[in-house]
């Protein structure tokens, strides 16, 4: 079993009054997740927290039988619960959230996501975005209607096309591949990626210590203005041994405001 170190952090940013992001770290199960809630008032906070809670319940219940399929089922359950909550408690007002989940099982990683929260992989000093944004501008880029360089500044940049709790049916994107010692995964909400370009993210991830890398990402996001909540988790595969949770900066299933 590979040794895994991780560092998680969440900050409300410099503009928002409420942190509607949430994160989850269950290193013993090999599961990490971030979510970016959306909706009026505290609805986004409720949505992101509900998804994290239902993921944790599913992981705890599955034990050693945990699989990507079970995590997908948990996201489907969260979608149904959020749709019901919006209808019954919010008079139909939206309570939704993006989500990205990383599940490392032996020498394989599984990635599940909906929305524009992202997962990157730094391997052999090359940074790759493993997830693809479920957003209006990303679809326009894919269709050749918009240049990728114009996507972040486009007026539709904040319009996402898939999220938990938005529609009665949720299609979760899933990909799986092998992982290697030395791999470094970054899970993050768009509060980070809308402030920092990929080349700058790449630069900070080259720190020898993931806690320093994580702090550098947050510091630079705050310097850039941090107009949204900012949440990130770094997960590093280091070699052979057990999971090392000493690098985590927040309690499981909690966030820093």
Give how far Cα 26 sits from Cα of 102, 104, 111, 126, 251, Å.
10, 11, 15, 27, 10
247 lies in some domain: no
Residues 92-120 pLDDT 10s:
788 999 999 999 999 999 999 999 999 99
For residue 144, the tally of other CB atoms under 10 A from its CB is 7
**Any domain includes 253:** no
The confidence score (pLDDT) of residue 152 equals 67
- Residue 34 is assigned to a structural domain of this protein: yes
pLDDT in tens, 63-77: 999 999 999 999 999
For 164, the domain range is: 2-240
More reliable by pLDDT, 95 or 137? 95
Is residue 189 scored above 50 in pLDDT? Answer: yes
Residue 63, in any domain of the structure: yes
Count of structural domains, the chain: 1
Q: Is residue 137 part of a domain?
A: yes
pLDDT by residue (tens digit) across 174-183?
Answer: 999 999 999 9
- Whether the Cβ atoms of residue 3 and residue 245 lie closer than 8 Å to each other: no
Give the residue among 26, 1, 199 at the shortest CA–CA distance from 107: 1
Residue 249 lies in a domain: no
Element spanning 104, H or E? strand 95-105
The Cα 126–Cα 123 span in angstroms is: 5
How far apart CA 100 and CA 98 sit, in angstroms, is 7
Segment 231-250 shows an average pLDDT of: 65
**255 within a domain of the structure (yes/no):** no
Identify the CATH number of the domain in which residue 56 sits: 3.60.40.10
CA 128, 247, 194, 103 torsion: positive or negative? Answer: positive
pLDDT the model gives residue 204: 97
d(CA 74, CA 60): 12
Q: Is residue 169 part of a domain?
A: yes
Nearest residue to 132 via CA among 195, 174, 102: 174
């Amino acid at each position: 079993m590979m040794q895994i170190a991780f560092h998680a952090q969440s900050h409300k940013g410099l503009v928002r009054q409420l942190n509607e992001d949430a994160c989850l770290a269950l290193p013993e199960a090999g599961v990490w997740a971030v979510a970016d809630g959306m909706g009026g008032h505290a609805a986004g906070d409720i949505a992101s927290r509900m998804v994290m809670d239902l993921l944790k319940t599913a992981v705890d219940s599955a034990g050693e039988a945990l699989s990507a399929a079970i995590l997908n089922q948990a996201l489907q359950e969260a979608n149904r619960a959020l749709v019901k909550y919006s209808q019954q408690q919010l008079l139909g007002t939206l309570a939704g959230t993006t989500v990205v989940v990383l599940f490392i099982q032996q020498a394989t990683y599984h990635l599940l996501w909906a929305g524009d929260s992202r997962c990157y992989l730094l391997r052999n000093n090359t940074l790759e975005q493993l997830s693809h944004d479920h957003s209006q501008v990303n679809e326009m880029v894919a269709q050749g209607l918009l240049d990728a360089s114009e996507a972040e500044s486009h007026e539709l940049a904040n319009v996402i096309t898939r999220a938990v709790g938005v529609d009665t049916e949720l299609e979760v994107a899933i990909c799986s591949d092998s992982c290697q010692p030395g791999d470094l995964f970054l899970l993050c909400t768009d509060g980070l990626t809308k402030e920092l370009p990929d080349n700058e993210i790449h630069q900070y991830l080259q720190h020898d210590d993931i806690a320093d890398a994580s702090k550098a990402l947050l510091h630079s996001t705050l310097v850039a203005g941090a107009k949204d909540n900012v949440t990130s988790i770094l997960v590093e595969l280091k070699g052979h041994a057990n999971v090392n949770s000493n690098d985590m900066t927040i309690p499981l299933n909690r966030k820093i405001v």
